[in-house]
Every structure is written in C-alpha cells, then in structure tokens.
Structure 1
Amino acid sequence: MPSEYAELMNAIFRDRPWDASPEAHVHDGDGDARARRLPRTPKGVTVGEVDLNGLGGECLTKRGNAGWVLYVHGGGYMSGSARERREVCQYIADVHGRNVMSCNYRLAPEHLWPAQIDDTLTAWEGVLARGIDPADVIVAGESAGGTLALSLAFVLKGRGMAQPGGIMALSPSVTQAESLPSHSANVATDYLLRDAVEKGALRMVYGGPACTEGFLRDPVVSPLYGDFSGLPPVFLSASDTECLVDDARVLYQRLREAGHPAALDIQHGCPHAFQMFPRMPEARDALAAGFAFFARQARA
C-alpha cells in the first residue's frame, strides 16, 4: 500500500484545478516559491546562493561530504526553480554524503527549446569551472529535470566533453515521438500529469506543430532513441501509477539490452515526481536505491 504521505499528496493533486494552457504557466521567477514556506534546514547543512556561469541556483553543503550532485528541477520546462527543490537537495546533502548545486534555467513559454538544455549545459560548465572532477558529479533531476539530465549526456557526447559520474533520472519523459501504454493507461491514477502526456503537452515547448519526426527522435529531445555508448551509469525511478512509468521501464530495457550499466526502481501508488518529497517514505527509498547503485558502480 502507498504510505500515508503518498496518499495525502495524491489527494492534494487530485483536488487541485488543472489548466494545461501555456498562459497558465507564465511565471515571475521565484514568485511561486516565495509564496511557499521553505523547509527547515537540517543541522550541519549550509544553504547558499551559487552562480553557475551566470545562472542562479543554490549550493547545499555539509562538512565531511564527498562528491557532488548537479540537480536540475522539473516542472514541464514551464515552472519550478532551484529554490523550490531545496527540500530534496538538502536531504541529499544531509543523508547521502554529497554536496549539491541546484540550477535554474530559462522557462517556457517565454523561452522555448533549446533554452532549457542550453542552460543545463551552462550549469554543467559552471560546476566544472570550480575545479570539480566530472567523475565526482551525479546529474540528477525529476520530471523534465530528469529528461534534461539524460539529454545533457547526449549533448556532452556530441561535443566530446567530459561526462558526469552518473545520471539519476527521476520520473523522466524519454520520448516525444511516440505514445507508450502508460501515457493513456495511467491517466486516471496520475493526478499531477493527468492527460498532459497523452496529449503531447510538452511539444509546445519544442515548437508545437513545427516539430518534425526527425527532430522528435533526436536523443537530446527524446533520450530513448540515443546510442548509449560512452554515457555514464543511469539510475531510473518512477511510480507504477504515473503516466511516465513506461518511459522509465522502456529506457531501462534499452539500456540493459545495450549492456549499459543501469538500475530501475519502481515504487507503488505515488504521484508523478514523488522523489522530490523526501518526507514520503517511497521517495527516501527511491533516492537510497539510486545512491546505492552509484556506490556499487564506483566500486566495480
């Protein structure tokens, strides 16, 4: 059974009005985040602002930590911020022994693709400019942020740039070119995304009707269709009741068929992108599985 916290979040999303129109997502920077109560910072964790080659963000550190996470927030490329993901980032810094840099990026509809992946690359370059070994960095993110983490690896590969030590893609979307079974089958149980995936809502960010089949199958847009050779180990996580669960399952199958190091964790009955709520036991379990996977890869 889902935890009480998972059921609570499902109820909140189920009862919340949903407007999928682009106008509903026009943002004012961190306005939504300012209106929310920020979580209490765990003892020993320090939170500060960071500049990643001109991109704003947050840096969360704890004495004794080793290694880094570059965290890329989700929000359908249309909402979210580093500040809004402080809870999960400070949890990682506190519990999983890695310092975290969490980056902002330009949002749609004001800024369409490729602004989001361009800014993710800028953030990556900003991390490396601090003298951090790329092998010591895991690039992580939930929802669209998980997609950007995967997309970044293909951008880096195409440019011959250093790869991170791992990719943690939490409830990512991995294809814009085709519909997977869960995109429609789980509409009734995914109270956050509802029918947005089935209707191809993200295509608006990529230019809408102007998108060609070839563009939609570019692995930077749809990581499912990429050549995974040369990419770092990949950890995938999803809930069995969310619309994007088959994205994680199918990508994991492709990775395994290619002999690529990968792991998949499926939790039960949780909302989309549940991993960003570490008060939820399932989120803690998923994150623990991910960091345990990368620890095993480091020892291999």
Structure 2
Amino acid sequence: MPSEYAELMNAIFRDRPWDASPEAHTHEGGDGAPARRPPRTPKGVTVEKIDLNGLGGERLTKRGNAGWVLYVHGGGYMSGSARERREVCQYIADMHGRNVMSCNYRLAPEHLWPAQIDDTLAAWEGVLARGVDAADVIVAGESAGGTLALSLAFALKERGMAQPGGIMALSPSVTQAESLPSHSANVATDYLLRDAVEKGALRMVYGGSECTEAFLRSPVVSPLYGDFAGLPPVFLSASDTECLVDDARVLYQRLCEAGHPAALDVRHGCPHAFQMFPRMPEARDALAAGFAFFDRYARA
C-alpha cells in the first residue's frame, strides 16, 4: 500500500490543472523559481553554487563523504534546474556518503535537442576538470534526467571518453521509437504525466515530425537500443502505476539478457519521478536500494 506521503503527492498531481508545469520553467541554466523557498539544509551539509564548464549548478558536500554523484534534473527537457533538485541532492549527500554536483542545461522549446545532451556532456567534463576520477562518480537523474544519465554514457562511448562508475536512472524514458504497454495502460494512474507519453510529447524536443526512425532508435536518443558493452552498471527505478514503468522493466530485461550488471527497483502506487521527494518513504527506499547496489558491485 502506498505511504501517506505518496498518496498526498498523487492527490496534488491529480488535482493540478493539466497545463500546469510541475516546476517553474527556467532557461539558460537559471537558478529556478526565485519565489520558491529552498529546502532546509541538513546539519553538516554545505551547499555552494558552482560553474560546470560554463553551466550553472550546485555542489553539496559533507565532511567524511567519499565519491561523487552528478545529478541531472528532469522536467521533460522543458523545466527544472539544479536548485529545484536541491532537496534530493542534499539528502544524498547527507544520508548516502557521497558528495553531489548538480547541473543545469538548456531547456526546450527555446533549445531543442541536442542542446540537452551537449550540456550534460559539458557538465561531465566540468566535473572531471575539478580533478574527480570518473570511476568515483555515479551519474543520476529522474525522468528526463534519468534518460540523460543513460544517454550520456552512449555519448561518452561514441567519443571514447571515460565512463562514470555507475548510472542511476530514476523513472527514465528509454525509447522514443515505440510505445510500450504502460504508456497507455497507466494513463489513469499517472497523475503527473497522464497521456503525455502515449502522445509522444518528448518528440517535440527531438524535432517532432522531422525525426526519422533511425534517429529515434539511436542509443543517445533511445538508450533501449544501445549496446551497453563497456558501460557502467545500471540501476533502474520506477513506480508500478506510472506510464514509464515498462521503460525500466524492458531495459532491465535487455541488460540481464546481455549479462550487463543491472538492478531494478519498482515501488507501488507512487507518482512519476517520486524519487526526487526524499520525504516519501518509497523514495528513500529506492535511493537506498540504488546506492546499496553500487556498493555491492564495487566490493565485488
């Protein structure tokens, strides 16, 4: 049964007008909605604004932490910012022993693909320019940010660049070329996305009707069709009532068939991208499962 907090968030999204954005639309690497008060910073965690290779972002650190997370925000490539994800990033820094850098990227509709992946790649280079070892970084993100975390690995592979130590894709979209059963089956229970996935809303960001089938099946756009050989372990998380749950399930199945190190965590009755709300018990459990997976893999 979903937690009370999960039910509360479902109710909030259910009652929200369909044309209302879940967060303030920000552009050019902005800092988010100035009217929204930032969450309280946990004791011992330090939050700083940083520049990641020309992109705005935040660094969240805690004494004694080892390793890093590069967190890429979601928002359908059209909204969100590093500041808007401060709550989950500072929770990771506080509870999971890893410092975090979070990045902004250019947003649609003013900036269409490949602006988003180009900026994520620039942020990755910015992290490494700070002297961080690639193998010590987990690239994480929710929704479109989870897709970008996966896409980044293929962009790095194409360029022969160093891979991160892990990918944590939370409620990602993994295919733009085909419809999966949950895209339509869960429309009535996904109060945040509703029928946006079924209608292919993200295709506008990729160029709409001008997109070819070959383009939509390219791994950087649709990670489902990529060869994960040489890529890091992948942790996938989703809710069984969201439209993108089959994206996580199908990708996990393909990774298992290929013998690639992967884990899948599915929670019940939560909203899309619930992992960005660490006050939700299911979000805390999903994040804990993800970091435990990477810790086990590192020990092995």
What TM-score results when the alignment is normalised by the length of structure 1? 0.97
- Name the SS for the 2:33 alignment partner: helix
Does the C-alpha gap of structure 1 residues 21 and 58 become closer, same or farther in structure 2, counting only changes over 3 Å? closer
Q: Is the CA contact (8 Å cut-off) linking 2:67 and 2:99 kept in structure 1?
A: yes
Q: Is the CA contact (8 Å cut-off) linking 2:241 and 2:271 kept in structure 1?
A: yes
- Name the SS for the 1:14 alignment partner: helix
Question: What's the CA shift for 1:24?
Answer: 10
Show the counterpart of 2:152.
Answer: 152
Does the C-alpha gap of structure 1 residues 22 and 94 become closer, same or farther in structure 2, counting only changes over 3 Å? closer
Q: Is the CA contact (8 Å cut-off) linking 1:70 and 1:101 kept in structure 2?
A: yes
Q: Distance in 2 between matches of 1:277 and 1:20?
A: 19
Q: Distance in 1 between matches of 2:202 and 2:22?
A: 10
Question: What's the CA shift for 1:30?
Answer: 4.5
What TM-score results when the alignment is normalised by the length of structure 2? 0.97
Q: Is the CA contact (8 Å cut-off) linking 1:26 and 1:110 kept in structure 2?
A: no
Deviations 1:96-128 (A, max 9, x none): 000000000000000000000000000000000
Q: Is the CA contact (8 Å cut-off) linking 1:175 and 1:247 kept in structure 2?
A: yes
Q: Distance in 2 between matches of 1:223 and 1:33?
A: 31
Does the C-alpha gap of structure 1 residues 177 and 24 become closer, same or farther in structure 2, counting only changes over 3 Å? farther
Q: Distance in 2 between matches of 1:279 and 1:93?
A: 15
Deviations 1:57-112 (A, max 9, x none): 00000000000000000000000000000000000000000000000000000000
Question: What's the CA shift for 1:33?
Answer: 2.5
Q: Is the CA contact (8 Å cut-off) linking 1:26 and 1:109 kept in structure 2?
A: no
Does the C-alpha gap of structure 1 residues 115 and 87 become closer, same or farther in structure 2, counting only changes over 3 Å? same
Does the C-alpha gap of structure 1 residues 139 and 244 become closer, same or farther in structure 2, counting only changes over 3 Å? same
Q: Distance in 2 between matches of 1:266 and 1:289?
A: 10
Q: Distance in 2 between matches of 1:34 and 1:171?
A: 27
Deviations 1:16-46 (A, max 9, x none): 0012899996858657522212110000000
Q: Distance in 2 between matches of 1:135 and 1:262?
A: 17
Q: Is the CA contact (8 Å cut-off) linking 1:20 and 1:196 kept in structure 2?
A: no
Which stretch of structure 1 is more off in the superposition, 28-37 or 266-275? 28-37
Q: Distance in 2 between matches of 1:238 and 1:215?
A: 26
Q: Distance in 2 between matches of 1:280 and 1:21?
A: 21
Show the counterpart of 1:129.
Answer: 129
- Name the SS for the 1:56 alignment partner: strand
Does the C-alpha gap of structure 1 residues 28 and 13 become closer, same or farther in structure 2, counting only changes over 3 Å? farther
Deviations 1:117-148 (A, max 9, x none): 00000000000001111000000000000000
Does the C-alpha gap of structure 1 residues 71 and 26 become closer, same or farther in structure 2, counting only changes over 3 Å? closer
Show the counterpart of 1:193.
Answer: 193
Q: Distance in 1 between matches of 2:112 and 2:50?
A: 24
* Runs of 5+ consecutive residues of structure 1 not aligned to the other structure: none
- Name the SS for the 1:141 alignment partner: strand
User: Number of aligned pairs?
Assistant: 300
Q: Does residue 45 in structure 1 map to residue 38 in structure 2?
A: no
Does the C-alpha gap of structure 1 residues 149 and 253 become closer, same or farther in structure 2, counting only changes over 3 Å? same
Does the C-alpha gap of structure 1 residues 121 and 98 become closer, same or farther in structure 2, counting only changes over 3 Å? same
Q: Is the CA contact (8 Å cut-off) linking 2:29 and 2:104 kept in structure 1?
A: no
- Name the SS for the 1:77 alignment partner: coil
Identity, % of aligned positions: 91
